[in-house]
Amino acid sequence: MKKYTIKDIALLAGVSKGTVDRVIHKRGKVSEKALKKVNKILDEIDYQPNILARSLKNNKIYSIHVILPDPEIDPYWIPCKLGIEEAFSEYKSLGVSIETFLFDPTNNQSFSEINDKVLQLNPDAVLIAPLFFNEAIKAFNAYKETEILVTTINNRVGDDNVNNFVGQDLVQSGKIAARLLEMITPDNSEIIIAHLDEFFLNASFMQQKEKGFRDYFDTNTNNSYKLKTCHSIESNQYKTLIDVIKTTKDISAIFVTTSKVYKVAEILSNFPELKIKVIGYDLLDKNIELLKNRQIDFLIHQNPRQQIYLGLSQLAEYFIFDKPVSKEKLLPIDIINSENFSSYLNQ
Amino acid sequence: MKKYTIKDIALLAGVSKGTVDRVIHKRGKVSEKALKKVNKILDEIDYQPNILARSLKNNKIYSIHVILPDPEIDPYWIPCKLGIEEAFSEYKSLGVSIETFLFDPTNNQSFSEINDKVLQLNPDAVLIAPLFFNEAIKAFNAYKETEILVTTINNRVGDDNVNNFVGQDLVQSGKIAARLLEMITPDNSEIIIAHLDEFFLNASFMQQKEKGFRDYFDTNTNNSYKLKTCHSIESNQYKTLIDVIKTTKDISAIFVTTSKVYKVAEILSNFPELKIKVIGYDLLDKNIELLKNRQIDFLIHQNPRQQIYLGLSQLAEYFIFDKPVSKEKLLPIDIINSENFSSYLNQ
DNA sequence: TGTATTTGTGTGTTCGAGCACATTTTTATT
DNA sequence: AATAAAAATGTGCTCGAACACACAAATACA
């Protein structure tokens, strides 16, 4: 395995390295004859430019700004910090700077303000968790005009101005929940779909999960579960959900579309006579505790840390090594139970 | 965020870059006075050597040899090809050469022969799937003497001569299977633990899975499942297993400790009156087909492709960027059902 | 005090790609 | 044919780390 350099090619083709360089980069100013000679050699050998040398020469500092919900307000985002740190420590010596900006996930205006601020700072790329649909679209357009690369994570916001998405297929994740519940609950029973603390007024991800969940039962089985959707919020002490639990007969399971599934498990501990299966999202400490105690049966892992890390590393390697950024990177949808959660915690 | 170079430090400390270099690499030949000056600057700033420049200067070719079971004989190893190709295309331009050597997984002598051959070729590192315990230990010692780095994947072979292991906790994976079956089978029923085609005489990984499986029921529940172990081989048309199925009353599930779980599902299709749950390992095409048809209920994903890729990339980055190799990298243990398998296939 | 010897310090080259600039060759114009 | 203009080609420097080697300063020994 010989590593060819531009110098080697120049020697083989009987031209100078400048000419080889011009051929490779199609910079023109090369005679027909020289072009042929160089291309002949390039066809014969497998030339791999040394990306170390290339990026050493490049020697720029690239700035990536990360726009995330404040993890103090929504703990789902806590693991992101680790993902960012990991990416930073890996790429900082290669000239990548990463800065984080937090917004209030209960407040769409806060999201817009942060985006305006970042726009002013004019980074090379932004990585955004686009919780608010309309505001996100607006921001994307602004970034496009300033030629700032945009990567989104967590939830898809279909828009051509986004160069890259890293996350999961949320419809499919609803189907996974449905299949799991189908296996552990009796036919003909009642299943509640609970949307908790839906402060994201124009957020669609809960709806996508519900869609997948319902689709599964509509198309995949001849079972006849009765599905009921329930919206419930903390400021109301989840009264709506508690009422549904009290008044509905024969509930076999509750599918919680967010990481707030621990709230449901806590509520259900007040009804020990009911044997209700619980499935929800994400490896929050509280959720894991309840999973261990069998008060939650399954969790689906959305892996925010991995999402951030992959998004950042794709951007970094695009800048440094010129690697192409995939338009869409769909992460696996992990099923978590009391026995395998630990294997995901230190990834 | 300023990127400091050796030249910067030299300027700040009022010495030459040669002196800075000697301080950083503790090469001696530096006066007390100069040492102090340089260290003072190093304390003040966060110097990150440019690894691109460093490895460009290094400019060596590193060879890694991969020793794997022939995927033609055991299809479990088919995805490894992709993992190797991925790693190769990522690191070839950085001077890493990867070569694959296949052995017959039904023949421990073949394993030893391949190791002897690789030892002769004297690569910088080897990555081995150490199916055969005794032969593996012998090989490790030989590699250690020649100062060849050894990384193992798939199954742990406790040995100090191994620098690095990438794989799963197989005992834990048995527990996961147990917990899943506990959720979908009735108490007091009979569960069969099936070891299929156990041609690896001194292989322990099936035993590890069985241990985890039994441990779970012994310690975690007050259920009283009856567990029965069954060894069965293809050359006997799996008669042993078929007999157990025919003669045992009240079988609720079969836990297959290998990727040959499709064989069990096929056998069970001859007993349509029995409602037996099936759980096993790995995303073979056949297994996925049966998972879709609900003839297999769960699969546990051992992710051989990821194991190889990570093992190779750790070695490559150790050589190129001097990144430390972790002694043990435990991968997550993925639970697969009919709805989430596809999200793992194109990873 | 002068000459070895040790110890310390700085300079210059290398790695490979990329690009600016100088130089040479070819083509166009009078 | 002479000159200007354009096109093609080659040279040499840069990026940052690493290290060989030349040179300088300090110490040892006659």
Question: pLDDT category, A197, cuts 50, 70, 90?
Answer: confident
Residues in A 264-283 whose C-beta is less than 7 A from nucleic strand C are none
Q: What is the DSSP letter of A76?
A: G
Residue A48 forms contact with B (CB below 8 Å): yes
The verdict on A97 and A42 lying in the same domain is no
Assess whether pLDDT exceeds 80 at residue A91.
Answer: yes
pLDDT at B204: 76
CB atoms B178 and A339 under 8 Å? yes
Residues of B in contact with A337 (CB under 8 A): 176, 179-180, 183, 335
Q: So what's the pLDDT on residue B200?
A: 54
d(C-alpha A315, C-alpha A155), whole Å? 18
Q: How confident is the model at residue B9 (pLDDT cuts 50, 70, 90)?
A: very high
Total domains in the fold of chain B: 3
Residue-level pLDDT at B199: 62
Residue with CA nearest D9 C1'? A19
**Binning pLDDT at 50, 70 and 90, where does residue B158 land?**
confident
CB contact under 8 A, B61 and A340: no
Q: Residue A256 in contact with residue A281, Cβ under 8 Å?
A: yes
When pLDDT is cut at 50, 70 and 90, the band that residue A334 belongs to is very high
Strand partners, B191: B227, B253
Shared domain for B122 and B107, answered yes or no, is: yes
Residue B339 included in any domain: no
Sheet containing B149-154: give its strands across.
Answer: B96-103, B62-69, B125-128, B149-154, B164-167, B328-330
The answer to whether residues A287 and A191 belong to one domain is yes
CB atoms closer than 10 angstroms to residue B2: 8
Interface of A with B in 197-216 (CB under 8 A): 216
Give strand pairing partners of B231: B195
Question: In Å, what is the separation between the CA of B37 and the C1' of D19?
Answer: 22
pLDDT band (50, 70, 90) for residue A234 = confident
* Helix, coil or strand: residue A11: helix
What are the structure tokens assigned to A24, written together?
């490779």
Q: Residue B29's domain spans which residues? A: 6-49
Q: Is residue B341 part of a domain?
A: no
pLDDT interval class at B320 (50, 70, 90): very high
Q: Does the pLDDT value for residue A9 go beyond 90?
A: yes
- Integer distance in angstroms from CA A29 to C1' C27? 14
Judged by phi (left if over 0) then psi (alpha if -120 to 50, else beta), residue A215 lies in: alpha
Q: Are residues B146 and B184 in the same domain?
A: no
Tens-digit pLDDT profile for residues A273-300:
999 999 999 999 999 999 999 999 999 9
Q: Is the dihedral of CA B312, B314, B319, B320 positive or negative?
A: positive
The token pair that represents B112 in the structure block: 């030893």
pLDDT of residue A111: 96
- Give residue A287's pLDDT: 98
Least CB–CB distance from B340: residue in A95, A176, A340: A176
Q: Are residues B252 and B276 in the same domain?
A: yes
Q: Do A343 and B168 touch (CB under 8 A)?
A: yes
How far, in Å, CA of A66 to CA of A127, rounded?
5
In a domain, B236, yes or no: yes
Looking across all nucleic acid strands, the nucleotide with the smallest C1' to CA distance from residue B4 is: D16
Chain A residue numbers touching B96 (CB-CB < 8 A): none
Q: What are phi and psi of A28, to 5 degrees?
A: 75, -165
Query: Is residue B344 in a domain?
Result: no
* B304 pLDDT above the threshold of 90: yes
B60 beta carbon < 7 A from strand D?
A: no
Q: Is B343 a member of any domain? A: no
**Residues B122 and B73 occupy one common structural domain:** yes
Together in a domain, B241 and B199: yes
Q: How far is CA A261 from the centre of its chain?
A: 20
CA pair distance A102, A73, nearest whole angstrom: 10
pLDDT for B197 beyond 90:
no
β-strand partners of A128: A67, A152
Can you give the three-state secondary structure of B62-129, one letter per residue? EEEEEEEECCCCCHHHCCHHHHHHHHHHHHHHHCEEEEEEEECCCCHHHHHHHHHHHHHHCCCEEEEC
CA distance B220 to chain A (A): 11
Instruction: Give, in degrees to the nearest 5, the angle at Cα A229 between A133 and A155.
Output: 25
Single out the residue of A305, A264, A290 nearest to residue A77, CA to CA.
Answer: A305
**Chain B interface includes A345 (CB < 8 A):** no
Q: What is the pTM of this model?
A: 0.94
| Interface check A344 vs B, CB under 8 A | yes
Q: State how far the Cα of A154 lies from the Cα of A83, in Å rounded to an integer.
A: 14
pLDDT at B344 over 90: yes
Same domain, A95 and A115: yes
Is residue A336 domain-resident?
no
User: Would the CB atoms of B178 and A331 count as touching at under 8 Å?
Assistant: no
Q: Average pLDDT for residues A127-131, to the nearest whole number?
A: 95
Residues A93 and A115 in one domain: yes
**pLDDT value at position A223?**
74
Average pLDDT along chain A? 93
Same domain (yes/no): B284, B211: yes
SS3 per-residue string spanning chain B: CCCCCHHHHHHHHCCCHHHHHHHHCCCCCCCHHHHHHHHHHHHHCCCCCCHHHHHHHHCCCEEEEEEEECCCCCHHHCCHHHHHHHHHHHHHHHCEEEEEEEECCCCHHHHHHHHHHHHHHCCCEEEECCCCHHHHHHHHHHHHHCCCEEEEEECCCCCCCCCEEEECCHHHHHHHHHHHHHHHCCCCCEEEEEEECCCCCCCCHHHHHHHHHHHHHHHCCCCCCEEEEEEECHHHCCHHHHHHHHHCCCEEEEEECCCCHHHHHHHHCCCCCCCCEEEEECCCHHHHHHHHCCCCCEEEECCHHHHHHHHHHHHHHHHHHCCCCCCEEECCCEEECCCCCHHHHCC
Tell me the nt nearest to B58, Cα to C1': C15
In this predicted structure, what is the pLDDT of residue B201?
52
Averaged pLDDT for residues B100-120? 96
For A259, other C-beta atoms within 10 Å of its C-beta total: 24
- Give the closest-approach CA distance of A235 to chain B in angstroms: 35
The DSSP code for A332 is P
Average pLDDT over residues B139-149: 95
| A170-184 helix and A205-219 helix, angle to the nearest 10 degrees | 50
Identity of the residue numbered B311 = G
Contact A56 B61 (CB under 8 A): no
Question: For the segment B224-281, what is each residue's pLDDT rounded down to a tens digit?
Answer: 899 999 999 888 899 999 999 999 999 999 999 999 999 999 999 999 999 999 999 9
Is A221 part of a structural domain of the chain?
yes
pLDDT-based confidence at A200, cuts 50/70/90? low
Calculate the angstrom distance between C1' of C26 and CA of A7.
26
Q: Which chain A residues contact residue B334 at CB under 8 A?
A: 332, 334-335, 340
Distance, Å, B37 CA → C3 C1': 33
Exposed, middle or buried by CB within 10 Å (0-12, 13-18, 19+), for B269? exposed
Cα–Cα separations (whole angstroms), residue B196 to B69, B230, B257: 17, 8, 7
Q: Are A337 and B179 a contacting pair at CB < 8 A?
A: yes
Q: Which of A178, A330, A343 sits opposite B330 (nearest CB)?
A: A343
A326 secondary structure, DSSP code: P
- Residue A270: how many other CB atoms lie within 10 Å: 9
Note whether B186 contacts A: Cβ–Cβ < 8 A: no
Q: Nearest nucleotide to A52 by CA–C1' distance?
A: C16
Answer yes or no: do A49 and B179 touch at CB < 8 A. no
Residue A33 domain flag: yes
Burial of B29 (0-12, 13-18, 19+ CB in 10 A): exposed
Residues B83/B312, Cβ–Cβ less than 8 Å: yes
Question: Residue A148's domain is classified under what CATH number?
Answer: 3.40.50.2300
Between CA A28 and C1' C29 the distance (Å) reads 25
Q: A41 with A83, same domain?
A: no
Task: Band the pLDDT of B202: cuts 50, 70, 90.
Answer: low
- Residue B56 beta carbon within 7 A of nucleic strand C: yes
Q: What's the gap between Cα A124 and its chain centre?
A: 20
Least confident span in A12-16, B91-95, B149-153 = B91-95
pLDDT band at B148 (very low <50, low <70, confident <90, very high): very high
Nucleotides of strand C lying closer than 7 angstroms to a protein CB? 7-12, 14-21
pLDDT of residue B133: 87
Q: In this complex, is the C-beta atom of B45 within 8 Å of any C-beta atom belonging to chain A?
A: no
Determine if strand C comes within 7 Å of the CB of B23.
Answer: no
Range from B108-112, B157-161, B199-203, B290-294 carrying the lowest mean pLDDT: B199-203
Is the same domain home to B98 and B121?
yes
User: Maximum distance among all alpha carbons in chain B?
Assistant: 88
Both structure tokens of B182: 């506990």
